[in-house]
């Protein structure tokens, strides 16, 4: 709630054109996402968010859309009894907050201190109305997000082992170093993403380590030792 006022303020102090963003190169199915990103980069304002700071809240008006510049963002929803479901983790280059309705269905928070590009939704929609290329890229981003959530559904019906393995592969594929995962989020976030408890996540990681599928030199630093074994737990 409070963040919307802050956003509006930030949006109006027209920050100078953004410096080129340095980010790890990520393999993406469609290369043209970069064009879209470059386009909207000039339309918004970069904003810093401290670790755990709210970016927007569930049920707020979805007047902006967002791109991670640095750090990481999680979207989530709270249930009546306090359970929390995380919808996704977003890394530099990822766009989030793009939803069908005019209100957000999830909340968004910074996982670590982060920098986020904030763009007025109406500007993007307006541009898409005039430029077919932008419209197509807007659709691509949304469709890719749809695919991601479908993959998330497939994770949630599996065993704990399979869920954790799937999560690790997903993360590994998004990191520059293919077999080295730097988790930016605590175990509780992983648990809430996978619909498990923190204890089960921890135990499962220990198991995977004992089975020599992974190594865990530090709790937030995981090495993939046997990708085949992890993959076999999927599909």
Partner DNA sequence: CGACCATTTGATATGGATCAAGCGATGTGG
Partner DNA sequence: CCACATCGCTTGATCCATATCAAATGGTCG
82-121 mask for a copy of itself (x: CB under 8 A)?
Answer: -x-x-x----------xxxx---xx---------------
166-195 mask for a copy of itself (x: CB under 8 A)?
Answer: -----------------------------x
d(CA 91, CA 106) in angstroms, rounded, equals: 17
Dihedral class, residue 93 (left if φ above 0, else alpha if ψ from -120 to 50, else beta): left
**Smallest Cα–Cα separation from 101: which of 134, 58, 143, 67?**
58
Nearest-approach distance from CB 72 to DNA, in angstroms: 14
Look at residue 18 and give its three-state secondary structure.
Answer: coil
Residue 227 binds to a copy of itself (criterion: CB under 8 A): no
d(CA 7, CA 45) in angstroms, rounded, equals: 9
Contact present, 118 and 66 (Cβ < 8 Å): yes
Nearest-approach distance from CB 196 to DNA, in angstroms: 4
d(CA 200, CA 191) in angstroms, rounded, equals: 8
Chosen residue from 26, 70, 77, 161 binding a copy of itself by CB under 8 A: 77
SS3 content of the chain, % helix, strand, coil (to 5): 40, 25, 35
Residue 201 binds to DNA (criterion: CB under 7 A): yes
Contact present, 181 and 171 (Cβ < 8 Å): yes
| DSSP-assigned letter for residue 14 | -
Residue 29 binds to a copy of itself (criterion: CB under 8 A): yes
Residue 160 binds to DNA (criterion: CB under 7 A): yes
Chosen residue from 206, 211, 215, 231 binding DNA by CB under 7 A: 206
Residue 132 binds to a copy of itself (criterion: CB under 8 A): yes
Within the chain, strands assigned E span 45-49, 54-56, 64-70, 73-78, 84-90, 95-96, 107-110, 114-120, 180-182, 214-218, 221-224
Residue 128 binds to a copy of itself (criterion: CB under 8 A): yes
> Binding residues for a copy of itself, how many (CB under 8 A)?
39
The smaller minimum CB distance to a copy of itself, of residues 51 and 139, is found at 139
The smaller minimum CB distance to DNA, of residues 14 and 218, is found at 218
d(CA 180, CA 174) in angstroms, rounded, equals: 10
Chosen residue from 140, 179, 202, 226 binding DNA by CB under 7 A: 202
Residues that bind a copy of itself (CB under 8 A): 29, 77, 79-80, 83, 85, 87, 98-101, 105-106, 125, 128-130, 132, 135-136, 138-140, 142-147, 149-150, 152-154, 156-158, 195, 235
Residues that bind DNA (CB under 7 A): 159-161, 186-188, 195-203, 205-206, 216, 218-220
């Amino acid at each position: 709630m409070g963040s919307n006022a802050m956003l509006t303020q930030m949006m109006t102090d027209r920050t100078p054109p953004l410096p080129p963003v340095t980010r790890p190169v990520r393999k993406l199915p469609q290369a043209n996402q970069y064009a879209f990103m470059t386009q909207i980069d000039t339309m918004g304002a970069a904003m810093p968010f401290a670790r755990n700071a709210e970016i927007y809240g569930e049920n707020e008006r979805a007047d902006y859309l967002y791109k991670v510049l640095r750090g990481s963002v999680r979207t989530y929803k709270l249930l009546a009894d306090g359970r929390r479901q995380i919808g996704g983790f977003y890394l530099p280059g990822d766009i989030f907050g793009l939803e069908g309705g005019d209100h957000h269905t999830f909340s968004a928070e910074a996982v670590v201190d982060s920098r986020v590009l904030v763009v007025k939704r109406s500007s993007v929609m307006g541009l898409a109305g005039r430029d077919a290329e932008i419209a197509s890229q807007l659709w691509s981003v949304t469709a890719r997000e749809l695919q991601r959530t479908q993959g998330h559904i497939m994770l949630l019906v599996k065993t704990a082992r399979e869920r954790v393995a799937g999560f690790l592969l997903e993360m590994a594929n998004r990191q520059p170093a293919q077999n080295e995962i730097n988790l930016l989020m605590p175990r509780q976030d992983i648990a809430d993403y996978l619909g498990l408890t923190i204890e089960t996540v921890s135990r499962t990681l220990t198991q995977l380590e004992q089975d020599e599928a992974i190594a865990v030199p530090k709790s937030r630093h995981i090495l993939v030792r046997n990708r085949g074994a992890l993959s076999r737990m999927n599909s």
